[in-house]
Amino acid sequence: MEEMGRRDFLKWMGLTGIGLATSSCCLAGSLERIGRHAVTGSPTGSWSGGSIPSPQAGLVLPVNQSTAVWAECWLFKGSFSERNLITSHPTQRGKLIFVKTPLEHFKISPPMSQPYSNGVASSATTRPILLPTYPAQYTLLVFHQNARGWVVEMQTIRFRTTGYPFNQYFMSGGKKVYADQVIQLARCKPYENRSFKFHRTFYPGHALMQAFGY
């Protein structure tokens, strides 16, 4: 995993009911020793104190490090390609639908979108996912979007959980943040003039989310 410098900061967005307050208390001593490293969490994506869950089987951390780019994600159980997941709407021309029902749908804000109270900007954001503790295959479909909601990049990430809480880690400020899986999303620029092809039809980036009904 890529190592960040000691002056880098991470902002973490958590899930409701996964022990953000408890984990924050447990990490208090560690954070004091780390010095410049900061870990925060929020169930809703708004700014608040807290932390990511402690290392555990099934914990997945997708990490967004792209400035001014939002990562809208759909999580599916199983291993799929884009062609297996997306198809044309059977009755509405120009519309697209998902073939499979996603387990989760969420968006990860870009770093530096919301600085710390002392004015220091974060350099990465994540949204922890808690999956079953037994090993299984998953697919994460990611639409990277600029501030106007236009898609600038698309990713299909296939991964398998291991059931081991210390399988991978992400470095920040000299601290290892452990999880079952750490997924570093593609680094993207918020360029606007992009198009994407589905079933021999090209969709411009500014209209792609509308084609899915978002």
- Structural contact between residues 181 and 167, judged by C-beta atoms closer than 8 angstroms: yes
Bridge partners, 172 (sequence order): 175
The answer to whether residue 28 scores a pLDDT higher than 80 is no
Per-residue pLDDT band for 37 (boundaries 50, 70, 90) equals very low
- Which band of pLDDT confidence, cut at 50, 70 and 90, is reported for residue 16? very low
What does the alpha-carbon distance between residue 10 and residue 114 come to, in Å, rounded to a whole number? Answer: 11
Q: What is the pLDDT of residues 87-128, one digit of tens each?
A: 888 888 888 999 999 999 999 988 865 555 555 556 788 899
- Residue 47 — very low, low, confident or very high, per pLDDT cuts 50/70/90? very low
> Would you kindly state where each structural domain of the chain is located, as residue ranges?
11-211
Ranges of H-type helices in the chain: 20-34, 82-85, 208-211
92 touches 208 (CB < 8 A)? no
What integer best gives the mean pLDDT of the chain? 76
Rg (CA), the chain: 18
Core vs surface per residue 86-125: b (16+ CB within 10 A) or e? bebeeeeeeebeeeeebeeebebbbbbbbeeeeeeebbbb
* Residue range 47-61: mean pLDDT, rounded: 74
Rounded to two decimals, the pTM is: 0.73
